[in-house]
Amino acid sequence: MSPDHAPAHELVELLTLERLEEDLFRGQSRDIGTKYVFGGQVLGQALSAAQATMDAGNGRLSHSLHAYFLRAGDIDAPIVYTVDRTRDGGSFSVRRVTAIQHGKVIFFCACSFQAEEDGVQHQAPMPEVPPPEDVPPTQISAEELAKLPPKIQRWMNRSGPFEFRRVHPRNELNPQPQAPVQKAWFRLGERVESDSPALQRAMLAYASDFGLLGTATYPHAISYYQPGVQMASLDHAIWFHRPFRVDDWLLYSIDSPSAQSSRGLARGQIFNRAGELVASVAQEGLIRVTETKA
């Protein structure tokens, strides 16, 4: 695979949108083995669209994003993003982004931007975990992979842009009840030459959707990969706290405080290797179990 077509560079291309008008953009969709467009793709592209409408001279970077997934995205069709320049104030800017496919809104979000300021600081401590070099890459055996439907096989077997190393991996095909907590090191598979903080944020938004909602299934011994288990993201929020690079190791510490009414809530904290909290994430999603579950 040439460097220009390596998964990391494909991700950069995916997050680089075509500008149709001043505040109108088009992004392509990628089939990564899921039935519908991966939610992280829409998050990253929507943030890219919002960032493209900011004045580069004012130094404002996204510090938060709040999104709702309304309809499943069609993998075989591009997505059009419209950006509303809701406010440009003295300290903050706000953009509202709407994603449209086949004439229908599938997603919308609000993004807030601020220039860096000095102020009070504190953070939660990073959990004590082995360094990424001591955690083996997350893999699934060929025997286990063969038991899955072809669509899920592509998802599990694809060499994606990010490498994940889960500190305490579970068997997704035969899960056992456990506490709704997981910790995973992750990083972009190849070094990206760009130092753009905007691109780094868009790529982290993409990665933040991996494994988040699944943590809410841990106490119930169920998995997205089992028949009879329906899961879908309903909303997603990200707060960016400190600078980071996604091609350096980051620790994703996730917990699920509640599941009820066929919905599960998951929260995540993302730390760099130095122990700095660089981002926080939250998501609620649909978790529905039917009688056909094996």
What distance in Å separates the CA atoms of residue 38 and residue 74, rounded to the nearest whole number? Answer: 10
Contact between 183 and 251 (Cβ < 8 Å):
yes
Give the start-end residues of each E strand in 14-53. 18-21, 24-27
Q: Are strands 181-188 and 263-272 parallel, antiparallel or unpaired?
A: unpaired
Taking the domains of the chain in order of start, what are their residue ranges?
3-115+136-289
Catalytic residue chosen out of the listed positions 45, 101, 209, 269: 209
Catalytic residue chosen out of the listed positions 41, 62, 233, 253: 233
The gap from C-alpha 285 to its chain's centroid, in whole angstroms, comes to: 13
Catalytic residue chosen out of the listed positions 41, 112, 256, 283: 283
User: Does the annotation mark 209 as catalytic?
Assistant: yes
pTM for the model stands at 0.92
User: 3-115+136-289 — its CATH code?
Assistant: 2.40.160.210
220 DSSP assignment = G
| Tokens 């943030």 belong to residue | 47
Strand partners, 19: 25
Per-residue pLDDT of the chain (294 residues; tens, 9 = 90+): 344 458 888 999 999 999 999 999 999 998 776 778 999 999 999 999 999 999 988 999 999 999 999 999 999 999 999 999 999 999 999 999 999 999 999 999 999 999 999 999 999 999 999 999 999 987 776 777 676 666 566 656 556 799 999 999 988 888 999 999 999 999 998 988 888 999 999 999 999 999 999 999 999 999 888 888 999 999 999 999 999 999 999 999 999 999 999 999 999 999 999 999 999 999 999 999 986 554
Within 8 A by CB and 6+ apart from 275, the residues are 125, 126
